[in-house]
Amino acid sequence: MGETGFTNITDPPKPRSSLSKTAMSSIDNLLRPAEGTKEMQVFRLMHRLAVFTVAVLCVMISLESFSTAVVILRGQVSRDLPIEVYSANLITDYAGTATIKESPLILQVLEGSTSPQNNSVYLETPSAHSHTGCSNVANYNHGMYDNDYLRFIFSSLQARASYNISYLTELELIAPVVDCTFELLVLGDQTVLSVYYLVRNKGDPDQVMLLSTSVSVQDYEVAQQFQRGAGTVLMIAAINDTQATTLEHHIVVALNFPYVAEPDFEYAELEGIDGDNYWLLRTLPNQRNLDPAKQVRMARRFGRYKGDPTAQSNIETVHWDLPSDPTSELREWRWYGRAVLHDSWAWTHAIHGFFALNDIFNLSVLTFVIYRRLRVGHLWVGDAFATVSNMLLYRGVIVLICSHLNGYWTITKMCISIGDSITGQHVIYYRPELVHADLLSVYLNLASVLSYLTRERIDPLVAFLTFELGWGCRLELANLFPDLKKHIVDFAVADATLGLLDVGPGLANLSPFELMTAYPIESDRKPVVFSAVISICSPFVLMLAYVAGRKSTRYASVPAGGKGTTSVRRRSSAYRRGFEQNDLTSFEAATGAALVKRFGVISS
Q: What is the mean pLDDT of residues 275-296?
A: 85
The string of DSSP codes covering 522-556 is: -S--HHHHHHHHHHHTTTHHHHHHHHHHHHHHHHH
* Predicted confidence band of residue 353 (pLDDT cuts 50, 70, 90): very high
Of residues 54, 66, 55, 59, the one with CA closest to residue 434: 66
C-alpha–C-alpha distance, residues 145 and 189, integer Å: 12
- Asked if the model's pLDDT at residue 75 lies above 60, the reply is yes
pTM score: 0.82
C-alpha–C-alpha distance, residues 59 and 512, integer Å: 54
Q: What's the angle, vertex CA 399, arms to CA 393 and CA 403, rounded to 5?
A: 150
pLDDT at 559: 61
Cβ-in-10-Å burial (0-12, 13-18, 19+) of 509 comes to: exposed
pLDDT digits (tens, 9 = 90+) for 553-582: 877 776 655 544 444 444 444 444 443 444
C-alpha–C-alpha distance, residues 30 and 34, integer Å: 8
The string of DSSP codes covering 254-276 is: EETTTSSSS---EEEEEEEE-TT
Q: At what angle do helices 38-74 and 460-472 cross, to 10 degrees?
A: 50
The H or E element containing residue 248 is none
Tell me the CA end-to-end span of the chain in Å, nearest whole number.
43
Give how far Cα 568 sits from Cα of 27, 275, 574, Å. 18, 70, 10
pLDDT digits (tens, 9 = 90+) for 509-549: 999 999 999 999 988 899 999 999 999 999 999 999 999 99
Q: What is the mean pLDDT of residues 168-189?
A: 95
Q: Flag the least confident range among 233-242, 280-289, 524-533.
A: 280-289
Computed over every residue of the chain, the mean pLDDT equals: 86
* Predicted confidence band of residue 128 (pLDDT cuts 50, 70, 90): very high
* Predicted confidence band of residue 597 (pLDDT cuts 50, 70, 90): low
C-alpha–C-alpha distance, residues 151 and 146, integer Å: 9
